[in-house]
Amino acid sequence: MSDVMDRARGLFTSGLARHVEKDHAGAEELYRQALALMPGRPSILFNLGRVLLDLGRMEEAEDLFRQVVEQAPDHEGCFNLGLSLAGQGRFADALPAYEQALALTPGFAPAQAARGWALEQLNRLQEALAGHARSVELDADNAEYQVSFSRCAAQACSDLDPAMAATLETAALICLKGDNIDYQQLQGICLALLDRRFRRFRGQMEALDFDWEKIAQAAPQELRAFCGDWLLLGSLEKIALSDFSSEAFFTGLRRGLLDLALADAREPGLEALAANLASLLACQCFLNEYVWDQGEEETARVYQYLARVEGGSAGDNSDLQLGVLGCYMPLYQHAGFTRWARDNLAQAGPVRRRLLQMLVAEPLAEAALAQDLPELAAIKDQTSLAVKAQYEENPYPRWLSIPRAAPLPYIEHVLRDIAPNRPPLAPVTDTPNILIAGCGTGRHALSYARVFAGARITAIDLSSASLAYAVRKAQELGARNVRFLRGDILDLDALDEKFDVISSVGVLHHMADPEAGLRALLRRLRPDGYLMLGLYSELARRDIVAMRGEIEAQGLPATPEGIRACRAWMRRQPGAEYTRLMQEATDFYSTSMVRDLLFHVQERRYTVPQLQDMLARHQLEFLGMASNHQPRIKALYRQSFPEDAAMLDLEHWDALEMEHPHLFRGMLQFWVRPTSVETRS
């Protein structure tokens, strides 16, 4: 018997070594030999089950983990049973297994995270959010848990379970302090948490017309808590708030800070209390590109204060001064602040340093980078030149972060995006050549650079200002596999190279002849390559087109002042379409986004039948809508057309859009490939 056990242990140990080396077939064979010698041994069953999970053989893995749990239930066995069930799409069945794992070991973060994912798939978003928050709380350094929490937070409604508020806030703060997530996804949950905590105090501030002296007398402790609240300060610094109620409050708060700064006599302690809040509110105003309303009287008071500061009668660039002025104007445009910032940035405290970096150092760095960008070819097309001019004035979009993601083969990315369609796509190479045609400020290109570590990425755009922002962010993220070029899609032949993947989202519809742009892209696409496109929907933008017509009739210019006037005018208009746009469109909350949405110099839109005709003309096969950008859309399709499992019928997509006119409010985003290619299995 001892000899049998020794042989089994030897086989098992060798299997472990093969497993670590990712030789799954070899590990499976050795584990099975060990199991033949010692049938039912939980440790062998468990590790064989892990191999089968890695191989995607979920039903076989389930059988093994059930044997493990029946013999010796522990948190690892229950957790892996849940994984095998979830891998079969049986999320409701997986939940009891995860919950049993947590009952055995309440602090087991992987089970909390997996349970959150299963609940997301069952559309139980509030419960899912709580699970993801708990996993972040348990393992604050795990980037994957933070990404899952923020992704779920972006989907979950803002009605929070009071019992979970503390855990949700802890998770949100951990995420805001790190650099693993898209901060913007936390907007809803952060605003809901802040509203819950400060609703009464905000009412007091509004009732006292944001008079800081009166507020300090009426509610000193609440004012101190408000000014030092880390969730509030982090949200102002890192999330471009796109909520009208919050905008109205913070606009009043800004006005109150200006009054405090202008006061001839004020208590020094009150100035110190307000300084950090003013500085980070300035970061918020810079993020939204000073889109908030300000009346003529308020503007006059700003310039009165600027004159006092520049004349030296207001003291020497205190944090309150810099913060208040930064709330109304980009400080880098004033030579005096630029010189002072250069001399003082190194020794500044954390909040002042962040203010000076965002409002002075980074814009100046971008201006320098814009002077030295490599060029594809001189831009000649008149429409392209007009579009270029718009984005030189208003680079789009301004963004701070992108989520971390595990490295992924590019073919797997395409397959995930076009799911549930799973055609036999074959990778051309492990180091794909990828083109982002119309990269703007670089968010899309740098997301690809993070995920496809072996890729060579080329990103082009018309605008030097946008590209300079992208280059600065690439340097910040340490992305070395991206090259940025200034140029027009129409001049892509100057590259004289072919690409395995081309992505051009939100670009062709801004060209005078979008199909000329498409032909240029296809000349650069390998015959067995893949193309992702994003085009405006005619149906989804009907109200926007109507509003654009009214804005033109008002004679409002595409300047910061005109855009602020446009937003104020829209808020005064009766009618649900204006309210809906202001509530639903995050593009309403920054200057460059409003200009892109309502003042663009060139725009074309497409119906699904027009899209279908265009694909036929260019011999392109429709591979599917992009799941990563519009998961809700595919859920609706599945409900309406369950017989079309691959979701490839464009006539069905047309019918679905007719039933849900705002379905493609963002864009029609989809993948195609040349139809002449015979795919390899």
Rounded CA gap, 285 and 292, in Å?
A: 8
- Round to whole Å and give the CA distance between 612 and 234: 46
Q: Summarize the chain as % helix, strand, coil (round to 5).
A: 65, 5, 30
Confidence at 630, pLDDT banded by 50, 70, 90? low
Q: Are 36 and 5 in contact (CB under 8 A)?
A: no
Q: Report pLDDT digits (tens) over 479-518.
A: 999 999 999 999 999 999 999 999 999 999 999 999 999 9
What CATH number does residue 472 fall under?
3.40.50.150
Mean pLDDT of 333-355: 86
Q: Which residues of 389-411 are buried (b: 16+ CB within 10 A; e: fewer)?
A: ebbeebbbbbbbbbbbeeeeebb
Residue 9 lies inside a defined structural domain of this protein: yes
Q: What are the tens digits of pLDDT across the range 81-102?
A: 999 999 888 999 999 999 999 9
Chain centroid to Cα 405, Å, comes to 12
Residue 327 has a pLDDT of 97
Q: What is the pLDDT of residue 315?
A: 58
What type of residue sits at position 269?
G
Same domain (yes/no): 570, 621: no
Q: Which residues lie across from 533 on neighbouring strands? A: 504, 670
State the average pLDDT over residues 348-367: 94
Please list the residues that pair with 370 across neighbouring strands: none
pLDDT band at 249 (very low <50, low <70, confident <90, very high): very high
Domain co-membership, 251 together with 297? yes
Q: Tell me whether the omega of the peptide bond preceding residue 162 falls within 30 degrees of 0, making it cis.
A: no
Closest CA to 332 of 371, 305, 361: 361
* Residue 348 confidence (pLDDT): 84
Q: Examine the fold and report which residue of 106, 127, 143 is the final residue of a domain before the chain moves on.
A: 106
Residue 336 maps to a domain: yes
Domain assignment present for residue 341? The answer is yes
Cis peptide bond upstream of 73, omega within 30: no
Question: In the predicted model, what is the mean pLDDT of the chain?
Answer: 91
Sort residue 418 into left (φ over 0), alpha (ψ -120 to 50) or beta: alpha
pLDDT at residue 680, rounded to an integer: 35
Is the domain of 274 the same as that of 235?
yes
Q: Do residues 528 and 621 make contact, with C-beta atoms less than 8 angstroms apart?
A: no
Report which of 302, 301, 360, 315 is spatially closest to residue 334, judged by C-alpha positions.
360
- Which SS3 state, helix, strand or coil, does residue 50 take? helix
Answer yes or no: is pLDDT of 346 > 50: yes
pLDDT over 50 (residue 681): no
Residue 465 domain-assigned? yes
Please report, as a single letter, which amino acid is at residue 665.
R
Q: Does 375 or 315 have the greater pLDDT score?
A: 375
Residue 22's domain is classified under what CATH number? 1.25.40.10
What φ, ψ does residue 437 adopt, rounded to 5°?
-95, 100
44-89, pLDDT tens digit by residue?
Answer: 899 999 999 998 899 999 999 999 999 988 999 999 999 999 988 8
Q: Containing domain of residue 50, as a range?
A: 2-106
pTM of the complete model: 0.91
636 shares a domain with 549 = no
3-state secondary structure of 424: coil
Q: Are residues 413 and 337 in the same domain?
A: no
Let me know whether 412 and 533 are in one domain: yes
Rg (CA), the chain: 28
**pLDDT digits over 384-436, tens only?**
999 999 999 999 888 999 998 888 888 888 988 998 898 988 776 789 999 99
Average pLDDT over residues 554-580: 86
- Is the pLDDT reported for residue 657 higher than 70? yes
Identify whether 214 is part of a domain: yes
Out of 59, 74, 106, pick the residue that ends a domain. Answer: 106
Decide: residue 582, CB within 10 A, 0-12 exposed, 13-18 middle, 19+ buried: middle
Same domain as 361, residue 233: yes
What are 228-248's pLDDT values in tens digits?
A: 999 999 999 999 998 888 999
User: Which residue, among 380, 339, 597, 364, has the nearest Cα to 489 in the 3D structure?
Assistant: 380
Which residues, 6+ apart, have CB-to-CB distance to 590 below 8 Å?
240, 287, 288, 289, 291, 397, 398
Residue 127 resides in a domain: no
Q: Residue for token digits 């919050």?
A: 246
What would the pLDDT profile of 7-39 be if each residue is shown by its tens digit? Answer: 888 888 898 999 889 898 998 899 899 888 889
Domain co-membership, 562 together with 613: no
In the chain, what is the straight-line distance between the N-terminal and C-terminal CA atoms, in Å? 48
Considering the domain architecture, whether residues 530 and 548 belong to the same structural domain is answered as: no
Instruction: Tell me which of 580, 598, 616 is where a domain ends.
Output: 598
β 433-437/456-461 pair status: parallel
Q: Are residues 350 and 466 in the same domain?
A: no
**Which pLDDT value is given to residue 520?**
98
CA torsion angle 648 650 651 652 (round to 10): 50
User: CA 576, CA 100: separation in Å to the nearest integer?
Assistant: 49
Identify whether 143 is part of a domain: no
What integer pLDDT is reported at residue 397 of this predicted model? 87
Supply the pLDDT for residue 317: 63
Asked if the structure places residue 144 within a domain, the reply is no
C-alpha span between 482 and 484 (Å, rounded): 7
361 and 226 in a common domain: yes
Give me the pLDDT at residue 167, please: 94
- DSSP 3-state assignment of 327? coil
**Number of separate domains in the chain:** 4
Q: Are residues 383 and 347 in the same domain?
A: no
